[in-house]
Structure 1
Amino acid sequence: MTGRELDAAGIHDPALRAAYSHCRGLNARHGRTYFLATRLLPVDRRPAVHALYGFARWADDIVDDLENGAAPAERARALLALEAQLEAGPRPGEAPEPVIRALAHTADRYGIDRRHFTDFLASMRSDLTVGGYASYEELGRYMHGSAAVIGLQMLPVLGTVGPQEEAAPHAAALGVAFQLTNFLRDVGEDLDRGRLYLPTDLLAAHGVQRELFEWSRRTGARDPRITAVLRAAAAHNRAVYRQALPGLAMLSPVSRPCIRTAFVLYSGILDAIEADGYAVLHRRAVVSRGRRAAVALDGLARAVASRTSRRRPGAARAKEDDGRLRPDGTGSSVREEAA
């Protein structure tokens, strides 16, 4: 299947094929929800998405390289080396990281602004020294590089039905929405790494200090004030999903099933967190395999219909329109389909 994707994308150079295959492997191992949604894209667009994911995952793994005992200074040097390779690009006779080789090819092919990658690496470097944020405004500056630019990188690959600049704010918002969901799901694991992505002023509004989160993580005990903070954070996250929602209709029809599926599955994680009583400090909330399969099958039907409609205009319009997400980002498309 990997060869089919690469052939469809016109990628024939052996070294380049190996680089893209490496990125695909990273996506399959570490980004299950993301990988599942990517399977709904036309085959020729999938390698580019794998390259973008592979680069982000590689940098993120450098930041979180605690198992090997790497000191922050050592991880910072590794990030700088990665950035230097990105700026230089693949050179004849050299063997850069596979993720850089694939990323450079993808960026050139789709005209992706290189600033999105440098902004991403800047946020990754901040994770080595910054363990918390005072407000959502301050957190937002970090998330521009760590999440919003991911949506902006993806946009040229996905394609739009109108000017990209009109879809860009919604694509950026969706990247932020996905990351806020990750922050909630992984709050316990992030605390273990010395980070808390819930703003200090949000905690203070509910009479909570960071030490209470650390105590709860350490002891397994619960506190209603922590639940109140997490519930408020989830409500904020849902509001960002609503900001992103209009962008789905701005995407190329063949890309909508992929992003729609990711939207439903990721927002479904919030439903899982709520159903589990906001116990994210003690266990990870997940969308069940059955729910994931149901959403994926629906996405597959929409993907087939969208490709059929390219050959027979209007043939699949009823199916596509009947399944649109509601304007508030909730309702059947999020709560029922994720169920």
Structure 2
Amino acid sequence: MGSWDAALDAAGVRDERLRADFTRQRRVVARYRFPQYAAVRLLLPRPTVPHLLAATAFMHHTDNLLDGDGSLRERSTAYERWAGQVREALASGRSDHDVLRPVLHACAARPRLAERIEAFLEGAAVELDFAGFGTEADYQRYVDAWSLPAFMLPADVLAPTREPAGFRDACRAFIDGSQRLDFVNDLADDLRAGRLTLPRDVLDRHGVTRADLVERRATAGVRELIARQLDDARASLRAAHALVGHLPAAHRAFGRALIGMEEATADAARAKGAGLLVSSARPAVPTAVRLLVREYRKRGQ
């Protein structure tokens, strides 16, 4: 995968404490989603790698605060404290936090990233107060308020210096497909945690109740519900391929791999069907390896 030290050098990370900070955040991302981490290391040029990992680790840290243990009041207090730290760091250019120091370095290289972070922070209330979706329109508002601003953090690291027309729309298509896929694929875990992430009007359309999902009833309606949600996710991911054309040539292999991994997950979820009420689906390891090898050979195209 190449030398991590060389990637830090290429990104201009010289300070030893900062290099240690970046290394800690690299490990966080590797534990969180190893296939995507492997794609970052294999397919992106060295100067991009540390900054993309820093943006992703920051997003993950914030999301964990919002979704963590504790009452709504406790989580709200923890988040407000964190948001204050973030804003103070962005204003001063300094921080004592090992998640924020790498982000500040990334912002210095990509000044637009600071604006993305502020938009991300402003949307956090939607995730903090999440109580499910009454309608598909509610889900779409969630994507606009929270999912898209979150994705725009790593997307900004990948984007050209001047954001091209259509870039945000392509990012929106990707995150709509990815978020919908996550909600369907993670049904079992979410239901165990007391969360229903599919819109209630969509359940009604298929004659499905929350109890059907909680009790793992593989009815015709449940199977159709899952299949249609995965179809919608797949359609958005197909539209997201436009994103690749907006990226610099050096980042396109990674863009294709990112979308391809989501598509492979959607295929695995479709094959599992109502079994998603028991556990999530994951692409077979050989499928992921073939995807990475294919894109490795096409780097720069």
Partner residue of 1:13? 15
Distance 1:204 1:150 in 2: 30
Structure 2 residue aligned with 1:59, among 62, 71, 79?
62
Q: Could you tell me how far 1:233 is from its partner in structure 2?
A: 0.7
Q: How many residues align?
A: 297
Q: Could you tell me how far 1:105 is from its partner in structure 2?
A: 2.2
1:295-310 alignment runs, 5 A limit = 295-303=291-299, 306=300
Indicate whether 1:77 and 2:77 are aligned: yes
Structure 2 residue aligned with 1:283, among 258, 268, 279?
279
When normalised by structure 1's length, the TM-score is: 0.81
Q: Could you tell me how far 1:162 is from its partner in structure 2?
A: 7.3
SS in 1 for 2:44: coil
Mapped contact 1:161–1:250 kept (Cα < 8 A): no
Distance 2:153 2:288 in 1: 25
Partner residue of 2:201? 201
Q: Partner letter of residue 8 of structure 1?
A: A
1:73-152 alignment runs, 5 A limit = 73-89=73-89, 95-96=96-97, 98-152=98-152
Note the aligned Cα RMSD (angstroms).
2.2
Distance 2:254 2:189 in 1: 28
Q: Could you tell me how far 1:135 is from its partner in structure 2?
A: 1.9
Distance 1:54 1:111 in 2: 18
CA displacement 1:43-64 (0-9 Å, x = unmatched): 1101111011101111222233
Structure 1 residue aligned with 2:51, among 44, 48, 51?
48
Say if 1:141 and 1:54 are closer, same or farther in 2 by CA, change over 3 A: same
CA displacement 1:164-202 (0-9 Å, x = unmatched): 343221023212322222112111111222222211111
Distance 2:28 2:278 in 1: 27
Say if 1:295 and 1:159 are closer, same or farther in 2 by CA, change over 3 A: same
Distance 1:101 1:131 in 2: 33
Say if 1:37 and 1:145 are closer, same or farther in 2 by CA, change over 3 A: farther
Higher helix share: 2
* Higher RCO, Cα 8 Å, sep 6+: 2
Q: What is the aligned-residue identity percentage?
A: 23
Listed as ranges, the gaps of 5+ residues in structure 1 are 307-319, 321-339
Listed as ranges, the gaps of 5+ residues in structure 2 are none
Name which of structure 1's ranges 111-120 and 272-281 shifts more when overlaid on structure 2: 111-120
